[in-house]
Amino acid sequence: ELKVEQNPLFLSMQEGKNYTIYCNYSTTSDRLYWYRQDPGKSLESLFVLLSNGAVKQEGRLMASLDTKARLSTLHITAAVHDLSATYFCAVESRETSGSRLTFGEGTQLTVNP
């Protein structure tokens, strides 16, 4: 069974600082997704990473995928308060009962002034 682990689970950072969220997974996959969720809200797609070495950037967020290490990172540059949310990585896997996305536990990010 695929296991997806994120760390840290909780992250409190100051505005203007940089930080990285890590997503490790246990079985082979070359498709990984990052989502953002605001409290009580839906999940919003941020990045789709479809191959080893894929790197995507949007504003202050950059995501990368290393399929050999089974690792994805979400790097935050010069954080601002609006980035406060919970970030999930999701790994695609093919199992006997069909393909699905397995989500990590989420990283709750708080950006303080």
Partner 1 sequence: DSGVTQTPKHLITATGQRVTLRCSPRSGDLSVYWYQQSLDQGLQFLIQYYNGEERAKGNILERFSAQQFPDLHSELNLSSLELGDSALYFCASSVLGGRPVGELFFGEGSRLTVL
Contacts with partner 1 by CB under 8 A lie at: 31, 33, 35, 41-45, 48, 88, 90, 92, 94-95, 97-106
Q: HSE of 41 in the Cβ direction (CA atoms, 13 Å)? A: 11
Q: Pull the structure tokens for residue 57.
A: 């950037």
| 13 in Cβ contact with 82 (< 8 Å) | no
Q: Which is nearer to partner 1, 79 or 104 (CB)?
A: 104
Which candidate, 92, 110, 66, places its Cα nearest to that of 4?
92
Find the shortest distance in angstroms from Cβ 14 to partner 1: 27
Q: Which is nearer to partner 1, 98 or 113 (CB)?
A: 98
Find the shortest distance in angstroms from Cβ 83 to partner 1: 19
Find the shortest distance in angstroms from Cβ 99 to partner 1: 5
Euclidean distance between CA atoms 35 and 47, whole angstroms: 7
User: ∠ at Cα 112 (19, 39), nearest 5°?
Assistant: 90
Q: Which is nearer to partner 1, 77 or 103 (CB)?
A: 103
Q: Which is nearer to partner 1, 31 or 79 (CB)?
A: 31
Find the shortest distance in angstroms from Cβ 74 to partner 1: 16
